[in-house]
Structure 1
Amino acid sequence: MAGRGRPRAFDRDEALRKALGVFWERGYQATSMSDLTAAMGINSPSVYAAYGSKEELFKEAVTLYTATEGRYTRRALDEEPTARAAVAAMLQDNAAAYADPATPAGCLTVLAAPIPVRETSSVAAHLARLRAEVRELIRLRVERGIEDGDVRPDADATAIAHFYSAVLNGLSIHSRDGVPLAGLQQTVAGALAVWDTLAGPDDRP
């Protein structure tokens, strides 16, 4: 039997992509429901019916972001042959993505973070967990480097993960502030220059 109720008169996935663009550009708190409905081309009852709430819509948009625009970190950490190469690719690929004029500058999970007052505490906590997951992925990749022998045995994987995740987040903020790709690349080069101090040995060709 055909399902009851009138079918949606809009493409849910396309509307979600449009909502992602608004949240990415404006951040969670500065995005109003009227901003969303104007971008998505639907009215607020349809938004609530399809996504539940602004918060749930935002979380869906973040999930879409991490699977598409935010894929560079996981790819680098999963696929590069050494820990240094993984961190280098993570920073370089994200810097290029942050500076891409085709999308809003910077990273959604860093720049859309709300001030964690009562009304937005769950959203702030959600984004903080995602950023913590990135730190953990970096830490695990460094630990793997220790096991593989391309990171020295006494390296502090946790400290290295905190340092390079801070650099990654800083690149996002600099990009939103208007720093061009060349400037971001200089920051990446500086961060990689201290790899030997933190982790060594140097595995560059």
Structure 2
Amino acid sequence: MTDPYSPKSCSPGRPRAFDPDRVLDAALPVFWEKGYEATSLTDLTDAMGINRPSLYAAFGNKEGVFLRVMERYGAQYLDFLERALSQKTAAEVIRAILRGSAKAQTQPGRPPGCLLLSTHLPDDETAQSLRDALMEQRNLAGRALTARLKRAAAEGDLPADVVPETLAGTVTALCRGMAIDAASGATRAQLLEVAAFSANALARRLTQSPG
């Protein structure tokens, strides 16, 4: 007897009987490990436990699944960012971001590194919307950090000669470098050491007076 609540029991015209977040979580490692172009619809439906009509009805197509996966990734793997930005000082914000990034890029049981940086999209014009969406997701953290550091500058929490955009770009570059290292085999302990060293160096810079 077919289970009416099974994802594969869905058919066109019937309400979805699956949790979208759950099936997106199942699709995420497929894109991460195989890449966008190499991931087929069969790969996705097998991993998500739904049939093609259900996938089309819920997400439109493979591109639609990937767009939702990127959003889900941001919420699931970068949730440390909001907590980091709430720290009291710029130095504490930077330390929390670097440490959180090192941990997020070395989650046990998940691919190392960062999905948003490791994903390669087609070069043709049909993928432009995907590339735009990917770039938007990549830049979210940097923009949020820039805004927080601008506030720190206005509050006198940054030396007058430190440009918030430059400092945010430096931290973002460090996080991206750690993601590459993680994908290349660096351990969590190694990345945490890098994060601590970098945070300490930046903290010393932030205590220096201009001139």
TM tier relative to shorter chain: 0.7 to 0.9
What is the SS of the residue equivalent to 2:121? coil
**C-alpha deviations, 1:15-65, integer Å up to 9, x for none?**
122112322333322322121111011222221121101111111111112
What is the aligned partner in structure 1 of residue 135 from structure 2? 128
**C-alpha deviations, 1:130-153, integer Å up to 9, x for none?**
222221112112112212222112
What is the aligned partner in structure 1 of residue 5 from structure 2? none
What is the SS of the residue equivalent to 1:194? helix
2:206 and 2:15 map into 1 onto residues whose CA distance is 59
Of 145, 152, 173, the residue aligned with 2:180 is: 173
Q: Shift of residue 116 of structure 1? A: 4.0
Deviating runs (4+, > 6 A) in structure 1? none
What is the aligned partner in structure 2 of residue 15 from structure 1? 23
What is the aligned partner in structure 2 of residue 138 from structure 1? 145
> Quick one: percent identity of the two aligned structures?
35
What is the aligned partner in structure 2 of residue 57 from structure 1? 65
Please provide the CA RMSD for this pair: 2.1
Please say if residues 150 and 201 of structure 1, whose CA atoms lie closer than 8 Å, have aligned partners that are also in contact: no
2:13 and 2:48 map into 1 onto residues whose CA distance is 22
TM-score (norm 2): 0.83
What is the SS of the residue equivalent to 2:77? coil
Please say if residues 70 and 137 of structure 2, whose CA atoms lie closer than 8 Å, have aligned partners that are also in contact: no
What is the aligned partner in structure 2 of residue 74 from structure 1? 82
1:84-123 equivalence runs, <5 A: 84-123=91-130
State the one-letter code of the partner of 2:62: K
State the one-letter code of the partner of 2:22: E
For these two proteins, the number of residue pairs brought into alignment is: 197
